[in-house]
A and B are shown apart, each in its own frame.
Chain A
């Protein structure tokens, strides 16, 4: 009896090679844009608050919050 020829099932990656690089490149090119946006939105808000209240500490708080939120957003979209 001849041995059966075993054809291995295609892995998910082999089946759709054309979308392989997409997520990685998406993430790689979106990260700087998200970080910059986070700093601008929340740092900008902090700047407004410091302008209104006179408490300068709001600027660094806003910038750090923005970076943190942007990093969290990248994790949500590409890291999960």
Chain B
């Protein structure tokens, strides 16, 4: 009974990491100018345009775009900035707001028909953003706590016997200066990469078993693929929002930690 299905299944090849490789946009274009790069620029322009239309000419009673913009602003301020930055929240809102909306848009490109590539599924993009936050974190830490003070507060939590520091300081150092920025970028990248691969897989299953090789036994699998594609698209949208939120939240956390070492 399973033989026809097996034969069909052998021909099916699941999409792999190659779906993230794009050729240059046109013949003779520079090799770095690919679809994800174009979408990254497009996303930045859209964020600028949205912010412009919402906040360039603010009214006391907000209408239209200003309403939406203020909802976004309030969300980032109350959920991301204030819990970690307290009274410094407003000063850091321009950075955090643009960061949140840029990443959200980049992520949502993954489920927009025809675009269908989450920009952050190429690690270069989250890596640059994480590096930016990393530089800001170290700069602020040294500026507000002094060079020695910053590393002392980071690596030597107060009130411990000296031998313990030998054991713990290397862990603190590695965790704060190497692992943290690394996971900051990789968390966003890996979520977008895996999510896009899952969507590609299920839609490939649906397409293959319903259009390319339609068989009585395979059609059930094809229908399942379509259903899973729809379900996973909804799930992806949630993840895309969540990861934009988390990336911005961690940025606020690192900045707050450099401004006020209270541990």
Contact = CB atoms under 8 A, between A and B. Distances in A.
B146 interface: no
A76 B246 CA distance: 25
A37 B177 CA distance: 10
B183 A26 contact: no
A75 B11 CA distance: 54
A9 interface: no
Main secondary structure of the interface of B (DSSP, over half): helix
A62 to B, nearest CB: 12
A29 interface: yes
B29 interface: no
Interface in A13-62: 16, 18-22, 25-26, 29-30, 32-34, 36-38, 40-42
Interface residues of B, number: 26
A26 B179 contact: no
Contact of A73 (B172, B178, B179): B172
Contacts of B257: 26
Interface of B: 82-84, 86-87, 89, 157, 160, 167-168, 170-172, 174-176, 178-180, 183, 249-250, 253, 256-257, 263
Given A73-B157, A76-B157, A77-B157, 6 more contacts: A19-B83, A29-B253, A40-B179, A41-B174, A69-B171, A77-B263
